Structure 1
Amino acid sequence: MNALIKSATIVDSKSDFHNETVDILIEKGRISKIAKRITNPRNYKEIQLDNLHVSQGWFDSSVSFGEPGYEERETISNGLKTAANSGFTSVALNANSNPVIDSYADITFVKSKANDNAVSLYPIGALTQMSNGEDLAELFDMRNAGAVAFYDYQKPMSNPNLMKIALQYASNFDGLVCSFPQESRISRNGVANEHVNSTKLGLKGNPALAEELQVARDLFLLEYTEGKLHIPTISTAKSVELIRAAKAKKLNVSCSVAIHNLVFTDAVLHEFDTNFKVLPPLRTQTDCDALIEGLKDGTIDMVTTDHNPIDIEYKKIEFDYAKYGSIGLESAFGALQNSFTTKKTISLLTQGKSRFNITEHSINEGEIADLTLFNPDETYDLTIDKISSRSKNSMFLGQQLKGKSYGVIANNKMVLNNE
């Protein structure tokens, strides 16, 4: 793939051309030249777009697509197209399909479905067989097939001894173990944050305590085993404090936060819109503020969309019975920019790759072209016609977003929204 990007402002602190507006020449999928002005050498495709900015390709550490088994929610093919249109060049795929991705063959299958795509798909294997929490899955075999981590998506590990064994075993091959932060015997059937609003609305409460107990337990197990732990989608102020203290002790722990948990609080539940039913639940403004502070000081390592397509019949029902989940790829950039500067937003969207052993490519001459193209200033309201996901369960519908992705250049391919 050959192309000439004209008049693009580079947003990449690792680039020699950070904050400069330049031309970028790409030949055979690699950046061959960066300069103030480049003459098209061989009639290559020229890319000229309004207020064009370019950064390293964005990464999402938690996406669900449905395939295999739930193709009505989303297919891998359309999911990766949606990711490209949204500015992501790499995504980590959760194991919550049917069958659950818990073997060498399963990892090989989903990787094969993503072949010849601009977006790189990195499978996360199930931590336990069929994600049932009883016996460890084939972790080493899945690692050899290409799994970047092990996680029973949104299913807490109730057995502390099994979590201890998982951390010990995976440490033999530098495996990354993920643990969903929820103590199920505390959360029980709670569907909303246990607080004033859940009481007013008559919704069963899921207390912050349920998350914090599990985080504390896993951090104790991590210290004992000296393993490698990732805690996905934390949502409470106390969780931030616990992980901050663990990092001060030099424990090998990382964590993420879902973008919607930074933006929304449980106050939005007054209309019982099931698009806002997510796990962990939306918390309080105090929690949101603590999560944002945790991102700023580095306690929280990365953001995620926690993109989770759910078909309409599981959302257009009573709040208590609706499935958890919201899509988030299309809204990620615009939502973050409502809370952070463009520089910080890009930093958040490009963090986390090294934790999942994914190679980073800076915007410098000689580097592989792994680029996101975007306009940071365009504002628009998110409507259903702007969503390319098969499922439309976005809590950002009707919200004004700031910033638009033009597409990506990656894996020697180009995907642009206007083509």
Structure 2
Amino acid sequence: MKLLLKSITILDDTSKHHKKKLDIFIDHGVIKKIDKNLKEKADKEVNIENLHVSRGWFDSSVSFGEPGFEDRETIANGLDTAGKSGFSAVGLNPYTNPVLDHSGSIAAVKAKANGHPVQLYPIGALTNKSEGIDLAELLDMKGAGAISFGDYKTPLRNPNLLKIALQYAQNFDALIQSYPQENRIAGNGMVNEHENSTSLGLKGIPNLAEELQITRDLYLLEYTGGKLHIPTISTEKSVKLIKEAKKKGLDVSCSVAIHNLVLNDDELKEFDGNSKVMPPLRTKKDAKALIKGLKDGTIDMVTTDHNPIDVEHKKVEFDNALYGSIGLESAFGALCTQFEINEAVKILCSGKKRFQLEDYKIMEGEVADLSLFIPGEKYRFTEKDILSSSKNSIFLHKELKGKALGVITKNGIILK
């Protein structure tokens, strides 16, 4: 397919066209020309007022449910949602039934996504069935296409297992993930342990539960070497711990969920199950520290931590609601409430290098990997903005800023 993008503002600080308003001609997935007033014949012309383009955004943590939880979301609709939300690539969590813990399951989900404009990169379970007892078939899964290994939202109780994983993974340059929570400290807590949890009568999870686990894992990494990724940190001290580890030269990275940047535990006052996420929403002070950590490079990437949950498991008493929120559709608009547009785009483009994925520039001769969006417009996020099969958005009825429109990749175009 030949595509012509007219009068589009380019935001790519790795390209000589950064901040310029130009036309882009794409022929069968390759950028052929970038200039003013292009006249090339195209199968499709895109001409939208104030349209912007950047390198393709990557989300390192999404869940679609399939296989096993197709009632929550399918791979097909999940990828369509990601594309219309501006993401050209996603890391798929092994939060499935059965979990993705062997090469056959990795190959199966990749086959489901074959040919879709949005690239799907599976994350394999670190342990068999994500039970934390025996390591899964890591080498075989990497051969089948897994980009990393971790048990989704399931902390490793056994430190020796993480030690062995970090040592073993060095043989084939694999990235190990460890979810940052010490469950024996978290106990039966559901929300952040602070003033709001006390006043609302909800059991709290102290910051210590996260920070203790991170401290343990960083000590193990220092001992073993290897590469460690800590997903979705949420506290001020967690940022400090990772900053210190990086200064020591440890090969560690981390992410933060966008809702932990934008929202805080004041949301709990409504007892809305959509605000029940893991890690929990923390305080304004924590959110401020997370934003600072993202700006100074301590935090490597953001994630939507997209997790569709069906209505039967969300619209129930707060105590019984499952953890999780969808986040793809609201990601760009939410992030732009905290960061100016160039900064927000740069953040959304980060993460690919850590997972050893291609990151193409917006230059002639490069493979097309583009995210399309319109910045600036403020609006209230409602159910009509939700594209997922499940509707459990933590950002429902929140004011956002800017809208993602779609993606263009070597496999085609998706536009809202």
User: TM-score scaled by structure 2?
Assistant: 0.99
Q: 1:303, 1:107 → 2: CA distance?
A: 24
Could you tell me which runs of 5 or more consecutive residues in structure 2 were left unpaired when the two chains were aligned: none
For the residues of structure 1 that align with 2:303 and 2:202, how far apart are their CA atoms?
27
**Amino acid across the alignment from 1:283:** R
Other-structure match for 2:273: 274
User: 1:223: Cα distance to partner?
Assistant: 0.4
Counterpart mapping for 1:123-202 below 5 A:
123-202=122-201
Letter in 2 for 1:260: H
User: SS of the counterpart of 2:319?
Assistant: coil
Tell me the percent identity: 62
- Give 1:43 deviation, angstroms: 4.2
User: Which amino acid in 2 is paired with 1:119?
Assistant: V
Q: Per-residue displacement from partner, 1:178-200 (whole Å, max 9, x unpaired)? A: 00000000001100101111000
Deviates more, 1:375-384 or 1:365-374: 375-384
Q: Tell me what 2:219 maps to.
A: 220
How far is 1:52 from its partner?
0.8
Q: Determine helix, strand or coil for the equivalent of 1:354.
A: coil
Distance, in Å, in 2 between the alignment partners of 1:212 and 1:171 is 25
Counterpart residue number, 2:29: 29
- Does residue 116 (structure 1) correspond to residue 115 (structure 2)? The answer is yes
Q: Which residue of 1 aligns with 2:14?
A: 14
* Distance of aligned partners of 1:289 and 1:43 in 2 relative to their CA distance in 1, 3 Å threshold: closer
Partner amino acid, structure 2, of 1:200 = S
Q: Match of 1:139, as an amino acid?
A: L
The residue number in structure 1 matching 2:339 is 340
2:88 maps to 1:89: yes
1:308 counterpart residue number: 307
**How far apart are residue 37 of structure 1 and its match?**
1.8
SS in structure 2 opposite 1:353? coil
Partners in 2 of 1:36 and 1:364 — Cα distance? Answer: 14
Match of 1:393, as an amino acid? N
- Structure 2 equivalent of residue 382 of structure 1: 381
How far apart in 1 are the matches of 2:410 and 2:70? 25
* Paired residue type of 1:218: D
- The answer as to whether partners of 1:369 and 1:412 remain within 8 angstroms in 2 is no
Q: Secondary structure at the match of 2:170?
A: helix
The runs of 4+ residues in structure 1 deviating greater than 4 Å are: none
Q: Is the 8 A contact 2:86 2:372 kept in 1?
A: yes
* TM-fit CA distance, 1:231: 0.1
Letter in 1 for 2:17: F
Q: Is the 8 A contact 2:4 2:42 kept in 1?
A: no
**Cα distance in 2 for residues equivalent to 1:200 and 1:172:** 51
Q: Is the 8 A contact 1:119 1:411 kept in 2?
A: no
Write the letter of the residue equivalent to 1:319.
F
Q: How far has the Cα of 1:77 moved from its partner?
A: 0.2
The residue that corresponds to 1:203 in the other structure is: 202
Q: What do the CA deviations read for 1:127-185 (whole angstroms, capped 9, x no partner)? A: 00000000000000000000000010000001000010010001111100000000000
Q: Which runs of 5+ in 1 are unaligned?
A: none
1:238-249 counterparts in 2 under 5 A? 238-249=237-248
**Match of residue 298 from structure 2:** 299
Q: Using the alignment, how far apart are the partners of 2:4 and 2:90 within structure 1?
A: 26
Q: Which residue of 1 aligns with 2:395?
A: 396
Aligned to 2:352: 353
> Residues 27-106 of structure 1: matches in 2 within 5 Å?
27-40=27-40, 42-106=41-105
Residues 193 and 204 in structure 2, CA contact (< 8 A), matched pair in contact too: yes
CA distance in 2, matches of 1:220, 1:301: 20
In structure 1, the residue matched to 2:256 is 257
Deviation at 1:411, TM superposition (A): 2.5
Counterpart in 2 of 1:3? 3
**Equivalent residue, structure 1, for 2:369:** 370
So what's the TM-score if we normalise by structure 1? 0.99
Cα RMSD for the two superposed structures? 0.7
